[in-house]
Structure 1
Amino acid sequence: MTMLLGRRGLLRAGLATAALPSLRGMAFAAPGAKEVPLLILVFLRGGMDGLHFLSPADDRDFVDLRVPQLRNATGGERPGERLDASPDTDFRLHPEAAALAGIWREGRMAIWPAAGMPQPTRSHFQAQAMMGWGQGHADEPQQRIGWLAAWAEATGSGAPVTVLSGQDRTVAELVGARRGLAVPTLARGVEMPGGAFGAAMLDALHGQGGGPVAAAGQAALASLRAIDHALPRGADGKPLPYAAAPGAEYGPAAEFGRGLATIAQVAKSQPGLTAAAIDLGGWDTHDGQAGRFENRVRMLNRGLAALDADLRDLPRRWTVLVTSEFGRRLRANRSGGTDHGRAGTVFAFGGGGRRPFGLGRQFGPWPGLSADALEEGVDLSVATDYRDAFRAVVAELAPGAPAPFTRG
């Protein structure tokens, strides 16, 4: 279902509704128009175990304190993907992250192995909300607009759609944006909330009304119908499948892949799309982590590999930023899982446009896992404020554009 997300909660709270003029194929900015960068945020909800995703595989403390099933090995039948990221430590990505390791080796990825919020919190709700607003401490003023929406508004070109949520809900990072949609898939066209009945109700509610709310509703309905009519269709009247670039296989990534394909499809047709977001959940691995984590990494790797292949030839700069609300404890619990911790892994990669990704093979500070380096004796310490990592990504993507976050 397409969500219409409008001002003052017009149809549902979140993004403001606007039109996508055409989704038939690649669109290009007008000659002389400013090139608009694209930042895609992938949020791994649940608290991804950064030490399992990116293991300091030969660190003596890590090997002694972390069970073998929850770390990436240097040898054996399934060794982790060696990165050669540090002269002091053999960092290895999970074996299921081979495509992501390949992007790193190409020099198109940056990693911060110990990033997080300055304020300790092990609450999913609090951590995700604070990150959505760009906070580092709970007592910092809360903005009325998510940090990514604010950045897109300040950086974008005023195009009909500047932000997109590639799922059927918005995220805190995009709340308050004025021109956007939440669309999990375009495979069946753009469906009105509630189908034909919902469309009729919205027509009755806004069709003959006056004032700004009614005008916004009328524009939203007309725009969404225009999108649907513009989709290429077969002889049976159904929308034709999206033709991704060669090598981009979204199917193995299931729902996550469908959302990424939607983002890519809109990015190609809308030169003004400035920010997009999508979630991949399932990272709260308190028990049975080994198998569950492997499945999640496989899904993440497949989806991002497809997106990377699909956007390779996009004629403007794009960057994918991947984060989670926090990491997990160094030691496993008795249920074969890990509990909420502190620092986690943030990484970013990009391409497109006329210049290479400028943060290639940048590797953030690593505090180590010795007893005196651990936070409260149990957690990987935060060595990088997540906002500093995000700022570095944005500064590389859009030099001269306003920096995100007003504090911290």
Structure 2
Amino acid sequence: MLTRRDFLAASTIAGAAAAAGLTRVAFGQQANNAPILLVLSLRGGMDGLHFVAPVNDTNYIAQRPTTLRVADSGATAGWSVASQSGLDFRAHAATVALRELYQSRSLAFVHATGLMNPSRSHFDAMDMMERGVTDRAAPLRTGWLTRYLSGLGGADDGFKSAAIGSGLPALFLGAEQTPSVSNPNDFRLWVDDYLRPYQMKILNGSFAGADPVSTAMRRMLNTADVFEQKIPRAANGARVPYQPRAGVSYPADWPAGELSGALQAVAQLAKLDVGLQLATVDFGDWDHHDGQEWRFRSRVAALSTALAAFWSDMQDFQSRLVIVTVSEFGRRLKSNNSGGTDHGHGNVMMLLGGPVQGGKLYGQWPGLAPDQLDEGDLAVTTDYRAVVAEIMTRLHPGSDAATLFPGFAAASPALGLIA
């Protein structure tokens, strides 16, 4: 419905830009079969030693109660991941939804990964990790996904990238056009459909200059306009809510519902064929200083079931989809006195995708003996940048590790994560 306020607002702007034309950007065809990279941030410092661990390691057993370890037997026994040097690595029982993906070689783990900086500060570690530096004082003022995005080339499509949520993570620091989207069905710039062409005409005219701000605004407006034409509608013109692939049911209970909604937003953007190649999703609350037994179990079950549903929902895109998890640091080997764990260092990363060489546990295991730890924590033997650089350079051969992460030398030989 056109209100008096809407009319006056439109009329006022129209007086200044009535002659402006409407331009549109058509999404490039090359994006239709382009790889899609989803970075899933597990903020808070996820406990990799409670996710995938050597259950028969005597140091592991000695430093944690059974409630904070991956079980090796009984009803809550973890499922087998790998056997290395006599160590029995298993995944937490609550990740059972991922077992089939691991056994079908779509899922892989990389252990003892992390930031090559000893910081145990959430803010500092995440800042360095998302900018791709090892020193907070480093002058690099862009995120590594921004640098990856700038090298993708092709048409300057508005939905080539998207941050799912209410804001942009530092991974996209410096990105000029990446939108933040909570629900694609709510992505709009106008009050109602009747006003849309008039508002587009007015706004394009208001930003007709060649300066960077005007250019970015026109791109954003064109993105919104093309997206508006892609979104499915009912007979009455109302936007149709997203429907997953037949037979797929995302978990809706807490806390899985939060992640399910974000992953469905990614799936919807991919299926709308708007050129999506890069997305981020946050799933935090992993800072378990107390009550970790039930908090971790609930969180990891939510992560696993939502990811499994998303993987099934994205069946038509699996061959070109890669999901990678990152977390600012792991947790200490020794539990605290509050039924939790404190900030640590080394952690585990998870990769899921069609190009992933799954069914394997990658990385060099440093051991958990006192002289093998880093100030009491799992040591980092694989720079997380080696993992994400290998993913990005394999998905997009035009990418270069030295450009993505200035000053970083890519692992040689490569880990072999991506086919």
- The 10-residue stretch of structure 1 (70-79 or 175-184) with the greater mean CA deviation from structure 2: 175-184
- Is residue 2:317 matched to residue 1:314? yes
**Using the alignment, how far apart are the partners of 2:225 and 2:278 within structure 1?**
23
**Any residues of structure 2 matched to 1:212-251 within 5 Å, and which?**
212=211, 213-214=213-214, 216-251=216-251
Shift of 1:257: 1.1
In structure 2, the residue matched to 1:12 is none
The Cα RMSD (Å) is 2.9
The residue identity in structure 2 corresponding to 1:335 is S
**Any residues of structure 2 matched to 1:6-405 within 5 Å, and which?**
29=29, 35-139=33-137, 141-160=138-157, 161-186=159-184, 188-192=185-189, 208=206, 210-211=208-209, 212=211, 213-214=213-214, 216-252=216-252, 253-270=256-273, 272-314=275-317, 317-351=320-354, 356-358=355-357, 360-376=359-375, 378-399=376-397, 401-403=399-401, 404-405=404-405
1:163–1:276: 8 Å Cα contact kept in structure 2? Answer: yes
Shift of 1:270: 3.3
What SS does the aligned partner of 2:290 have? coil
**Using the alignment, how far apart are the partners of 2:383 and 2:222 within structure 1?**
43
The residue identity in structure 2 corresponding to 1:122 is R
- The 10-residue stretch of structure 1 (154-163 or 53-62) with the greater mean CA deviation from structure 2: 154-163
2:204–2:221: 8 Å Cα contact kept in structure 1? Answer: no
CA shift digits 1:129-172 (9 cap, x unpaired): 10111012334x33232101211221243341321111121111
The residue identity in structure 2 corresponding to 1:231 is I
TM-score by length of 1: 0.83
**Using the alignment, how far apart are the partners of 1:327 and 1:201 within structure 2?**
49
**Using the alignment, how far apart are the partners of 1:20 and 1:96 within structure 2?**
45
Shift of 1:209: 5.2
1:73–1:80: 8 Å Cα contact kept in structure 2? Answer: yes
Larger Rg: 2
Q: Percent identity?
A: 35
**Using the alignment, how far apart are the partners of 2:190 and 2:319 within structure 1?**
33
1:109–1:362: 8 Å Cα contact kept in structure 2? Answer: no
2:25–2:222: 8 Å Cα contact kept in structure 1? Answer: no
What SS does the aligned partner of 1:113 have? strand
CA shift digits 1:209-232 (9 cap, x unpaired): 552334543553353244235321
What SS does the aligned partner of 2:105 have? coil
In structure 1, the residue matched to 2:18 is none
In structure 2, relative to structure 1, the CA distance for the partners of 1:19 and 1:127 (3 Å cut) is farther
**Using the alignment, how far apart are the partners of 1:329 and 1:74 within structure 2?**
20
In structure 2, the residue matched to 1:14 is none
2:161–2:278: 8 Å Cα contact kept in structure 1? Answer: yes
**Using the alignment, how far apart are the partners of 1:127 and 1:195 within structure 2?**
43
1:83–1:92: 8 Å Cα contact kept in structure 2? Answer: yes
Shift of 1:255: 2.0
**Using the alignment, how far apart are the partners of 2:272 and 2:26 within structure 1?**
9
What SS does the aligned partner of 2:111 have? strand
The residue identity in structure 2 corresponding to 1:261 is Q
The residue identity in structure 1 corresponding to 2:373 is L
In structure 2, relative to structure 1, the CA distance for the partners of 1:393 and 1:362 (3 Å cut) is farther
CA shift digits 1:158-203 (9 cap, x unpaired): 34132111112111111222332111112x432449999xx99999
The residue identity in structure 2 corresponding to 1:90 is D
The residue identity in structure 2 corresponding to 1:289 is Q
CA shift digits 1:93-113 (9 cap, x unpaired): 111111222222111222211
2:321–2:353: 8 Å Cα contact kept in structure 1? Answer: yes
Q: Which runs of 5+ in 1 are unaligned?
A: 1-17, 23-27
What SS does the aligned partner of 2:350 have? strand
The residue identity in structure 1 corresponding to 2:305 is R
Shift of 1:362: 4.6
In structure 2, relative to structure 1, the CA distance for the partners of 1:371 and 1:209 (3 Å cut) is closer
2:323–2:351: 8 Å Cα contact kept in structure 1? Answer: yes
Shift of 1:50: 0.6
**Using the alignment, how far apart are the partners of 1:136 and 1:48 within structure 2?**
20
1:135–1:142: 8 Å Cα contact kept in structure 2? Answer: no
In structure 2, relative to structure 1, the CA distance for the partners of 1:261 and 1:207 (3 Å cut) is same
Q: Which runs of 5+ in 2 are unaligned?
A: 1-22, 409-419
1:109–1:347: 8 Å Cα contact kept in structure 2? Answer: yes
In structure 2, the residue matched to 1:4 is none
2:106–2:359: 8 Å Cα contact kept in structure 1? Answer: yes
**Using the alignment, how far apart are the partners of 1:290 and 1:240 within structure 2?**
40
What SS does the aligned partner of 1:82 have? strand
In structure 2, relative to structure 1, the CA distance for the partners of 1:180 and 1:287 (3 Å cut) is same
